[in-house]
Amino acid sequence: MTGFPWHAFAPNLAWAAAVALAVMLVTFAVAVRVGLHRVVDVAWGIGFAAVAVVTFAASAGHGDLTRRLLVTALTAVWGLRLAVHIARRGRGHGEDPRYAEMLAKAPGNRDAYALRKVYLLQGALVWLVSLPVQAAQYVSGPPSALAWAGTALWAVGLGFEAVGDAQLARFKADPATKGRIMDRGLWAWTRHPNYFGDFCVWWGLFLLACDAPAAAAVSVVSPLVMSLLLIRGSGKRLLERHMADRPGYAGYRARTSGFFPLPPRRR
């Protein structure tokens, strides 16, 4: 693992941890003030954008400028789009049922419990998952074909997220579809186009770090953790458990791929 500037990258890890923590603590203060811990979901995307910007500044004089600009822009675009989408979706609603259920069982002070179990955990995940974004900024040499393939995969992922979210928002806003299961557009090909999109985004960003073996080795944990969270953790598994009793969901599940897009089966 020679050739990688470990002496510069090591302090960057501390800077990234500090900015991720700062975003979550500010969000926690806002949440306590407004009485809604669902705002932490907005901070998820903002945290990644902040880490990318701080890492870009910290890596000056080390990595390739084109790669540094590219990975910073891709991460910021993804993170800020997600933050805006979640903020709009949650406007006018009360507490997220997930957090309400968790805090109802909290021993002692609910806010202190949320700080430990939600904000600090998400801050740690932002730092861990952002490792490809951090490492790629220290890779010397212009982006290779592999890095541009990662950019293309990122674009596919962002498209699935943005289009899937827009299709679902229109479906929910239509009074004629009230109470029905969304099974149109991308949602006819996969039950989770937004989670699949997230999967593509993080594997794409990882490829941007793969031009240096050391950067790839230190950051491969990121897409693996995200894949686990999306498929087995708080993503697909948790949402499907919540949807299981909805009328029509069993049929939708039987004819639609659970994650990777596939042509819908016959009804």
pLDDT per residue, tens digit, the chain (267 aa), is: 447 999 999 999 999 999 999 999 999 999 999 988 999 999 999 999 999 999 999 999 999 999 999 999 999 999 999 999 999 988 878 887 778 888 888 888 889 999 999 999 999 999 999 999 999 999 999 999 999 999 999 999 999 999 999 999 999 999 988 889 999 999 999 999 999 999 999 999 999 999 999 999 999 999 999 999 998 877 677 778 777 788 888 898 899 998 999 998 865
Residue written as tokens 């949650």?
90
Packed helices 236-243 and 221-231: angle between N→C axes, nearest 10 degrees: 10
Residue 267: the pLDDT is 58
Which residues, in sequence order, are CB contacts of 16 under 8 Å at separation 6+? Answer: 51, 54, 55, 127, 130, 134
- The answer to whether residues 215 and 4 touch, using CB atoms and an 8 Å cutoff, is yes
| SS3 of the chain | CCCCCHHHHHHHHHHHHHHHHHHHHHHHHHHHHHCCHHHHHHHHHHHHHHHHHHHHHHCCCCCCHHHHHHHHHHHHHHHHHHHHHHHHHHCCCCCCHHHHHHHHCCCCCHHHHHHHHHHHHHHHHHHHHCHHHHHHCCCCCCCCHHHHHHHHHHHHHHHHHHHHHHHHHHHHHCHHHCCCCCCCHHHHCCCCHHHHHHHHHHHHHHHHCCCCHHHHHHHCHHHHHHHHHHHCCCCHHHHHHHHCCCCCHHHHHHHCCCCCCCCCCCC
Residue 15: the pLDDT is 96
Please indicate, yes or no, whether the overall pTM of this predicted structure exceeds 0.85: yes
Residue 161: the pLDDT is 96
Other Cβ atoms closer than 10 A to 40: 24
Output the six-digit token pair for 148. 């541009």
For 85, 113, 119, 134, 149, the CA distances from 156, given in Å and listed in that order, are 18, 38, 30, 22, 11
- The answer to whether residues 215 and 137 touch, using CB atoms and an 8 Å cutoff, is no
Which residues, in sequence order, are CB contacts of 195 under 8 Å at separation 6+? Answer: 230, 231, 235, 236, 259
Residue 123, phi then psi, degrees to nearest 5: -60, -40
Residue 1: the pLDDT is 41
